[in-house]
Structure 1
């Protein structure tokens, strides 16, 4: 997520510049970049997909049900302690859980949880 953009005026060494400050959506780390204002910037395409949680393996991988009925077994549990606890607790209680998976630039990560159990 881009959290700040500032520009500098044209100086004696050429073009005006744009200073970007962003937070990595996967790690939470702060990133900065300075680019000439006349240049283009690549913007990652971020997808969010929801999957029903079927199982959690002992080695920390999840088994997810896709829309077309296949399983997706290549994702690890999230590292965020709060979300991790909510997923493990909800699964242990037998709740029907749907996880939201964010994907960008070849990376995927579970970033949200929804309980769809009938109340």
Structure 2
């Protein structure tokens, strides 16, 4: 496996703590440390893939698994009225940590619609 020099690599290895939402052999999901909504978590592959642009055909099942977890974990976190996903890719795409990750965020019922906080997203 390729060495992962990012903060997410340290989280995967247990060197930095996180508030886990989900974990299995391939994927880790945890709360974002700078949430922009009531619920904001990340889903990352344990395999080091720097950006979405670095995905290869052999990663299709892994990405499918990650995307399949989005609605399941969103519902478990109380996002029953809807949610938003984002994958920032590269510097101009706003990516800050160069380890592929899916942002999942939203507000619980009774919270303001994401449209109201669009400037933060």
User: Which band: TM-score by shorter chain?
Assistant: under 0.3
| Structure whose CA Rg is larger | 1
Higher normalized contact order (CA 8 Å, seq sep 6+, divided by chain length):
2
Normalised to the residue count of structure 2, the TM-score between the two structures is 0.24
Structure 1 or 2: larger strand share? 1
The structure richer in helix per residue is: 2
Q: TM-score when scaled to structure 1?
A: 0.25
